[in-house]
Amino acid sequence: MSSVIGNNLKISLFGDPDGFCVGVVIDGLEAGIDIDMNAVSLELVRRRGLNPLTIPEEEKDAPAVLSGIKNNKTCRTPLCAVIEGGERRSGGIAGIFGGGPRDLGDGDLRIGAVAGIVFAGAVCKQALKAKGIFVGSHILSAGAVKDEAFDRQNISPDILQCLASEKLPLLDPYVRTEIEKEVREAEKQGDSLGGIVEGAIIGVPAGLGRPVFDGVESVLGRLLFSLPSVKGVDFGAGFSLAEMKGSCADDGRSRENGEPASNWWGGTDKGVSNGMNIICRAAFKPSSCKNGKQDTRETFYDPCVALKACPVVEAMLSVGILDMLYCKP
């Protein structure tokens, strides 16, 4: 299996989640980036799924930086960090990286990989913030219950920061009760639900992306699809564009002050960023459950894995955007 991603910014994962630690190496970061380790730790706390509707992972993430940061700033050496874990569940968790029988292969590494990915994403987030770029997400749906979608044109850093502080990040707080009811009912029946996470990246300059194969959607989609539980990704209005007429959906023709007025395409044009907010969605399949056909006798499962996926989606988006920025001439 491959455990290295990126072009100019390379992320390497290593370790065994059932062993002493897992780790990550980030190679290619600019020197002099201020890194707040408290902010990194908060992202690792988020990824453990601390809302009452998910199975909290028992490991207590304790990152230790071995190289790459001096006096709270990145230096030119690769950033290497190990994340010591406490006692793991012996059967694993059928979640973002688990989700299936053991004999499908590589389950242990995939489960432990989440911590390394989120650590790398938290570092990249801070590098992007220094450039005026902000990444965030929310739960767009859980089962049949839907939250409001992002306003494709108007998203502020404050909104994204507020969502990151919520155990169940929603734009419409009144949806929370419906989601809780839907998820608890599925759990009561020994079943599980799918869901959608909607991500937003604001402040991305125009001209990012290298078509044909390294366009914005290609890079970000590839990273999101590396999460085995993700079965669908779209950008902007996504599949709804297939039902629209070109006269309504053409961002290239609907311009005000040189920028698209509608942002139907989600911040990109032919694989290149156009200066608008980049909006994308990742659809997560239901995890293996007690009433399913798969053998889950030794598996703890989440009734809705999408509810704990926001920090992982944000990490993938952050890594992808920073890597593309470093590739930009």
Task: Give the pLDDT score at 253.
Answer: 52
Least confident stretch, 191-200, 239-248, 249-258, 315-324? 249-258
Least confident stretch, 103-112, 254-263, 302-311? 103-112
Other beta carbons less than 10 A from residue 265's beta carbon: 24
| Distant-in-sequence, close-in-space partners of 293: CB < 8 Å, separation ≥ 6 | none
Task: Give the pLDDT score at 247.
Answer: 80
pLDDT of 294 over the 70 cut: no
Binning pLDDT at 50, 70 and 90, where does residue 15 land? confident
Q: Residue length, the chain?
A: 329
Query: What token pair was written down for 181?
Result: 């009811």
In the chain, % of residues over pLDDT 90 = 65
Within its chain, how far is the Cα of 283 from the centroid? 11
Query: Domain boundaries in the chain?
Result: 4-327
User: Which of 97-110 are b and which e, b meaning 16 or more Cβ less than 10 Å from the residue's Cβ?
Assistant: bbbbeeeeeebbbb
Task: Give the pLDDT score at 108.
Answer: 40
User: Contact, 265 vs 279, CB < 8 A?
Assistant: no
**Average pLDDT, whole number, for the chain?**
85
Task: Choose between 85 and 324: higher pLDDT.
Answer: 324
Beta strands of the chain (E only): which ranges? 4-5, 10-15, 21-27, 62-67, 69-70, 73-74, 79-84, 93-94, 134-142, 145-146, 195-202, 230-235, 255-256, 259-260, 268-269, 272-273, 278-284, 300-301
Binning pLDDT at 50, 70 and 90, where does residue 100 land? very low
Looking at the domain 4-327, which fold is it? Chorismate synthase, AroC fold (3.60.150)
Task: Choose between 138 and 63: higher pLDDT.
Answer: 138
Residue pLDDT, tens place only, 211-237 = 889 999 999 999 999 998 999 999 999
Q: Would you give the DSSP letter of residue 279? A: E
Once rounded to an integer, what is the mean pLDDT over residues 262-272? 92
Q: Is the pTM of this model over 0.85?
A: yes
